[in-house]
Amino acid sequence: MIVLTILVLVLGFVHFAVSTRSFYKVVFGKGFPSKAARNWLHLVGYGYLALGLWLCYQFRQDHVAILIWVGLLHLAAVLVAMMLTYAPALFKQSWRFGCLGRLGQKWLA
């Protein structure tokens, strides 16, 4: 359950990263996201983070779930930062195969 939660949180942070101009170029090669695309990416990213909180609550049904979630948020943020720094191709692949935000790119662009 913890590994699934980390994966979901990483995908949420990938959405937040793609909404910025420099990391949008890593994925798409050029350009920058429109305001509507940024809003869509943020919405989906927050959805992934909320799903991660729900998974933590399913794992541990008390106030410790929030503590576990916050700790996993830190771990996921570090993993995304390391992907962006050392393995941008892996970042691009995680966007291509694992992120729901790309589904909205067709009608937001």
Structurally, the chain folds into a number of domains equal to 1
User: Is position 57 within any domain?
Assistant: yes
Q: What residues make up the domain containing 39?
A: 2-99
Residue 54 included in any domain: yes
Instruction: Indicate the residue type of 1.
Output: M
Neighbours of 88 (CB within 10 A): 13
72 is a domain residue: yes
**Is 109 within the bounds of a domain?**
no
Residue of higher predicted confidence among 47 and 103? 47
pTM of the prediction? 0.88
pLDDT > 90 fraction of the chain, expressed in percent and rounded: 48
Tell me, yes or no, whether 104 lies in a domain: no
Q: How far is CA 72 from CA 32, 42, 53, 67, in A?
A: 29, 19, 10, 9
27 domain-assigned: yes
Mapping DSSP to helix (H, G, I), strand (E, B) and coil, where does residue 20 land? coil
pLDDT tops 90 at residue 101: no
> For residue range 27-76, what is the model confidence (pLDDT) as tens digits?
887 788 888 888 888 998 999 999 999 999 998 888 899 999 999 999 99
Check if the beta carbon of residue 105 is closer than 8 Å to that of residue 37.
Answer: yes
pLDDT exceeding 70 applies to what percent of the chain?
93
